[in-house]
Amino acid sequence: MLIQTLAAMALVAVSSAVPSLTEDHPLQSHLDDAEKLRDIYTSPQAQQMLDEVQHLPVCEPRTIYAAFRPNRAVSADQFEQLTEEEQQELREFNINPSNYYATFYGSPLVYARTLDLLHQYAPDFTINNANIIDLGYGQLGQLRLWAQMGAHVTGVEIDPILTAIYKDCEAVGDLNQPNTGSVTLIEGSWPNQEATRKQVGDGYDLFISRNLLKHGYVKPEKLNPNFPPPVGWEMTDAEMLGHLYDILNPGAIVIIESLGPKPDPSKPWSDISNPWPESAWTKAGFTVLAHDQDESTYARTMGAALRWDERMNLETDLFGVYSVYQKPISPDSTSD
């Protein structure tokens, strides 16, 4: 998830969010969300993800200093090394324990939807000991929960603000507990930058991207000078999907999910459809399990559970789509 205009607004909210003395737990909001979503997600692994919330570590609050357009941020220690003029360009933001896991995007537990989709299209797939990559992760919560379930998770983000938030964070790295995995964070543009491609490497069993790989984001009519080039910019469909194919193990699953407002031709960014046609996925060697499936009903059910209906009309303002693909176990087993 690239952090765009709303990120600045969200960070202002983060900076003023001080945990209430009446809260039962510093992560109470996440514990509450897990119960709200308990009846929404049905697969065993999604339920386990909700169960794992109670085991999230409570990270110490920290302060970062950030500016936007272009996004940039430094830690408190780095801030002290700047000149007075450089310091004046940055704003102070305080990150509390709950913000660590949600950042700008609300509950990370909405990612449990990907585990329900995984159960639907690849019921034998378990994330325990799997290598997972989340492109545009946006928040640490889902990565840490999957690691607690035994996965080795790599999150890739282009935004340096997230790097500042998670630098030396105790919730990142090898969990060093029985039957648990690890969390690795990479700052960079994949697959646009060769250096990031080298960091990402290959050998992944599951590729997940949520609210990033939208047609309106990936294939705009022209670049926005305030933001970095989108995923696969100036690449052909074959080149882009070829990079994805190459980082996956045989049998690996790809899940792309996007939510957004009602598509509006006057607002190209509102187009949440898949950036690449089904034929491009097939030509790249993937087996198409689902392509641009409407999941607006699910999105509205989930939104109601999290009380999004208090700030939007779910029926008219919230839509969703998902796609699922698989890299064949053998090159000759692609779909027709």
| Domain boundaries along the sequence of the chain | 5-333
For 29-50, how does the pLDDT look when each residue is reduced to its tens digit (9 = 90+)?
999 999 999 999 999 999 999 9
Average pLDDT of the segment spanning 169-175: 93
Joined together, the tokens standing for residue 4 give: 């765009």
pLDDT for residue 1: 42
How far is the C-alpha of 77 from the C-alpha of 294, rounded, in Å?
46
pLDDT for residue 104: 78
pLDDT for residue 23: 54
Asked whether the predicted pLDDT for residue 6 surpasses 50, the reply is no
Asked whether the predicted pLDDT for residue 131 surpasses 60, the reply is yes
pLDDT for residue 196: 98
Residue 222: pLDDT band with limits 50, 70, 90: confident
Name the least confident of 15-29, 148-162, 184-198, 257-271. 15-29
pLDDT for residue 2: 38
Question: What amino acid occupies position 72?
Answer: R
Residues in the chain: 336
Asked whether the predicted pLDDT for residue 179 surpasses 50, the reply is yes
Q: What percent of the chain has pLDDT over 70?
A: 91
Q: What percent of the chain has pLDDT over 90?
A: 80
pTM: 0.91
Joined together, the tokens standing for residue 44 give: 């065993």
Average pLDDT of the segment spanning 207-216: 96
pLDDT for residue 9: 32
Supply the mean pLDDT for the chain: 90
Q: Quick check: 314 and 303 in contact, CB under 8 A?
A: yes
pLDDT for residue 331: 66
Whether the ω angle into residue 97 lies within 30 degrees of 0, i.e. cis, is no
How far is the C-alpha of 176 from the C-alpha of 188, rounded, in Å?
27
Joined together, the tokens standing for residue 66 give: 């950030």
Q: Quick check: 105 and 139 in contact, CB under 8 A?
A: yes
pLDDT for residue 171: 94
pLDDT for residue 129: 97
Asked whether the predicted pLDDT for residue 272 surpasses 60, the reply is yes
pLDDT for residue 105: 80
pLDDT for residue 333: 54
Name the least confident of 11-20, 79-88, 134-143. 11-20
Asked whether the predicted pLDDT for residue 265 surpasses 90, the reply is no
For 84-97, how does the pLDDT look when each residue is reduced to its tens digit (9 = 90+)?
999 999 999 999 99
What's the CATH code, domain 5-333?
A: 3.40.50.150
3-state secondary structure the chain: CCCCHHHHHHHHHHHHCCCCCCCCCCCHHHHHHHHHCCCCCCCHHHHHHHHHHHHCCCCCCEEEEEECCCCEEEEHHHHHCCCHHHHHCCEEEEECHHHHHHCCCCCHHHHHHHHHHHHHHCCCCCCCCCEEEEECCCCCHHHHHHHHCCCEEEEEECCHHHHHHHCCCCCCEECCCCCCCEEEEEECCCCCCHHHHHHHCCCEEEEEEECCCCHHHHCCCCCCCCCCCCCCCCCCHHHHHHHHHHCEEEEEEEEEEEEECCCECCEHHHCCCCCCCHHHHHHCCCEEEEEEEECHHHHHHHHHHCCHHHCCCHHHHCEEEEEEEECCCCHHHCCC
Asked whether the predicted pLDDT for residue 280 surpasses 90, the reply is yes
The 10 Å Cβ neighbour count of residue 60 is 11
pLDDT for residue 69: 83
Asked whether the predicted pLDDT for residue 167 surpasses 60, the reply is yes
